[in-house]
Structure 1
Amino acid sequence: MHRTDNLTPRSIGLGLLLGLCIGGTAQANDDEKPMFTFASYGTLALTYSSEDKAEYNSSLLSSGGVGDSQSWGGEVDSRIGAQLTSNLGNDFSAVVQLVFERRYDSSWQPTVEWANVKYQLNPDFKLRLGRIALPNFLDADYRKVAYATPWVRMPVELNNLVPITNSDGLDLNYRQRWGEVQNTIQAAVGTAKIRYPGNGHANVSAIRAISDTLEYGNFKLRLSYSRANLDLDLADDLWNGFRQFGPPGTAIADRYSGHNKRVRFYGIGANYDPGNWFATAEYGRTTPNNFLGDRTGWYVGGGVRLNAWTPYATIAGSSVLSATSDPGLDTRRLPPNAAAVANVLNDSLNYLLQSRGPQRTYSLGLRYDLSRNTDLKFQIDRVVLPNNSAGYLWNRRDDYVPGRAYHVLTFSLDFTY
């Protein structure tokens, strides 16, 4: 048996592309559809943050950001994607999508976003096997394609509830029609592996996801639910430190550690788009049962299309339903040296609990469509933080003061080909 330890997204992608070429060529004479369809998309963006004592980023899985390390940067929202679809004949097709964006290790190596084979049993039923987009949000199928959305980025308050975008497994998609109403059910099972800044990783197993999308004219409504088992190695040294203090410390570690926890997500989103204007709203809640806390995220947004110009606005918010602080270990009866260690552990725990605090973002933006497949956007965000909250800021300096509002400016060029 050959080992697969050295498999990388690059080698997987090249191998699948080769496989698609072979499969597509074999069917070339029997199917009128093109053997291959190539598409690409991308965003070139420049982002600024007025908070100079912490880092702003739109993804929990990407290193870098703007603020403390640099006022302006292109790492937050820039990415390039390439997709190859192969018609294999006999109702089979396959797709591979590679994405180049800032990763957890500060590199820009490609990652395999999609890699699956689809069987179209009939016009209303399809089955896919491989790496597939998770159906959690309204824009799940084009979450990374900024050109397909009116704003610069999906509001981080909702986006960061479920930072993973795909799973490796199986999904089915079944569509029903009742007169002018179309209803689509998507169900998925699979697993995922996550890498995050600091060279950490997490295993997400036993993913079970289902969504129901109802469409009537210009109106769309999506309900979604997913659950999974999460094994997260973040802050393991902290939990091991607590366990050195016996049963009280073990209870704290068991409560907040990221190992062997059941995670659930509930979502609802709606969109109305008659053409010359649009309105959309989404709400989600996640219950990870660890230090990340039970959280909610939501946004409401809309805009008006005036020929090539689209001014828009959004309001987004997040809240934490679980405790954002904990007294930790009781140091009153501990020896001085042990008490000093316990105080450090307690401070570190509360730093973690405050790391995903509530926030609210007010955004104004303007989109200008240069051509059928290219746009320019400008967006300004005002992020308001309650007292003692750092929101989604990270890499906070010792002199960072929580609860301060700050602004984010973004200029971006989006394209699809």
Structure 2
Amino acid sequence: MSKCLFLILLVSVSLSNFVRAEADFRVSGFGTIGVVTTDSKDFGYRADFSKTGGVFENDIDFAEGSNLGVQFDIIASEEIDFVVQAVYRDQKELNLDTTINLAFVRYAPNPNWSFRIGRTAYDLFLLTEYRDIGYAYSWAHVPSEIYGVIPHRYLDGVDVTFNKPIGDITFAAKLFYGENEFPLTAYGSSSAGLFRLDDTIGLALDFHSMDWEVAINRTRLKFDSQVAEPLIEALVQMDALVPNFSAIWPNSMAFATDIDLDNRNGIYTSVSGQYRFDSVTVISELSKISSESLGVPGVESGYLSGIYHYNAHNFFTSLAFSDSEEFKLEGINLAALEQVPFGLEAYEGAELLLNYFTINQKTFSLGWRWDFDPNMSFKLQLDHTRIDKGGSTFWQPPAKDYTTLKRTGHVNALFANVSFLY
């Protein structure tokens, strides 16, 4: 039995003891039918790091910008409710575990406290609760520089939330703990492997009023991944079997230790907020990723967006960025390493691993949203992205010959979609 099935069974059994005969059962849903096209033959657009495809020049793609979701809510009593949400987003493996976004039971003994157990939204972002619900925001897609880097949607665990009105301001603090796994695609790979996060503990603080909101997040987690093990084993073997290997690849053993991801800690920190004027909304998020491993270097990202509201129309612009340090292997004797069996393969694998999260880019966006129906909206958005300092790993390459790939450049991407609620 999958973990998700076990969680659903657990919360269902817990709920059954409290359900009233007149329990309120509700069904709702959401979806987006979207198309994406770009003008680049070198950089293939993808919605986030879980996607294996890429949208290149002359492609017209519906998979990257489309999804369909359904949500079931059971109001069992004044204190207890049960939520299940399933989303189809072109998953490579389609099963119950990959489609269930939410599956939790919530106990709220009073207006100030709430406790949840099960599968909950992974509370890292300002738009955490509705990042897949296109109708809930003005843009045609959430900013990739923040939301594309971490594809993980949910957390299997528990959380507790405290709410307290303070004058005209409402303060909320959420403490959460759990684990999760989500597909993560290697640069240029046609398959996605599960990337697991254990012992995730975070604190999310939120202050909001009628006109503004400020949120602060600090999350600590432990990587459960053996992605670097083949490279580490290769370096250990070369050091043991190749004479004077330390002269060919200085500090290779220290390097092998530093790139290991397994059981290493990572930290996510973010500050975000929005302010609503009479006809304009300003939204911004800033985040930083850091870890104890060279395999996940520091990444700083953010965006600032302004949205002008006019009747049923929203006109928006945004500037987003993501910045990380490109890691270069230095001091290695490549001529000598070429004579070592699999030596160059190890070198290329090391560069690929070290720069997997090297995401250096800036995106300027212009767009329009039209709410032509109370439950439907049409969106059109043009992105211009400048990729520099080797930061092209978010984009899929056209081939797997990494030595000839372009690392810098410009991409224009056009997004058009219809989002709806039902």
Q: Same fold (TM over 0.5)?
A: yes
CA distance in 2, matches of 1:98, 1:20: 21
Contact 1:47 1:73 in 2 (8 A): yes
Provide the residue aligned with 1:142 in structure 2.
130
Relative CO higher for 1 or 2, CA cutoff 8 Å, sep ≥ 6?
A: 2
Say if 2:349 is the partner of 1:348: yes
Provide the residue aligned with 1:292 in structure 2.
296
CA distance in 1, matches of 2:10, 2:25: 13
Deviations 1:297-339 (A, max 9, x none): 100001111111111000000000x44222274456x57621x
Counterpart of 1:40 (choices 24, 29, 53) is 29
Give the AA of the match of 2:200.
I
Contact 1:368 1:376 in 2 (8 A): yes
SS of aligned partner of 2:176: strand
CA distance in 2, matches of 1:335, 1:39: 60
Give the AA of the match of 2:352.
Y
CA distance in 2, matches of 1:411, 1:23: 47
SS of aligned partner of 1:67: coil
Give the AA of the match of 1:318.
S
Counterpart of 2:368 (choices 359, 366, 369) is 366
Contact 2:282 2:307 in 1 (8 A): yes
CA distance in 2, matches of 1:376, 1:108: 30
Change (3 A) 1:18 1:167: closer
Counterpart of 2:411 (choices 389, 406, 417) is 406
Provide the residue aligned with 1:207 in structure 2.
200
Deviations 1:87-118 (A, max 9, x none): 12251111000111122x36587511010000
1:273 Cα offset (Å) = 1.6
Change (3 A) 1:224 1:234: same
Contact 1:54 1:393 in 2 (8 A): yes
Change (3 A) 1:236 1:102: farther
What is the correspondence of 1:109-258 to structure 2 with a 5 Å cutoff?
111-197=99-185, 198-246=191-239, 248-258=251-261
CA distance in 2, matches of 1:262, 1:97: 30
Change (3 A) 1:17 1:100: farther
- Identify the range of structure 1 (214-223 vs 48-57) with the bigger mean alpha-carbon deviation: 48-57
Change (3 A) 1:123 1:369: same
What is the correspondence of 1:16-27 to structure 2 with a 5 Å cutoff?
26-27=19-20
> Kindly, what percent of the aligned residue pairs are identical?
19
Give the count of matched residue pairs. 401
Counterpart of 2:79 (choices 88, 91, 94) is 91
1:54 Cα offset (Å) = 3.7
Contact 2:223 2:266 in 1 (8 A): yes
Runs of at least 5 residues in structure 1 that lack an aligned partner in the other structure = none
CA distance in 2, matches of 1:20, 1:82: 23
What is the correspondence of 1:306-317 to structure 2 with a 5 Å cutoff?
306-317=310-321
Say if 2:262 is the partner of 1:259: yes
Provide the residue aligned with 1:71 in structure 2.
59
State the TM-score, normalized to the length of structure 1.
0.88
- Identify the range of structure 1 (264-273 vs 248-257) with the bigger mean alpha-carbon deviation: 248-257
CA distance in 1, matches of 2:232, 2:367: 43
Give the AA of the match of 2:268.
F
Contact 2:318 2:364 in 1 (8 A): yes
1:241 Cα offset (Å) = 2.1
Say if 2:262 is the partner of 1:274: no
CA distance in 1, matches of 2:261, 2:331: 17
State the TM-score, normalized to the length of structure 2.
0.87
Change (3 A) 1:387 1:287: closer
Deviations 1:141-181 (A, max 9, x none): 11111110110121111113432121111101111111111
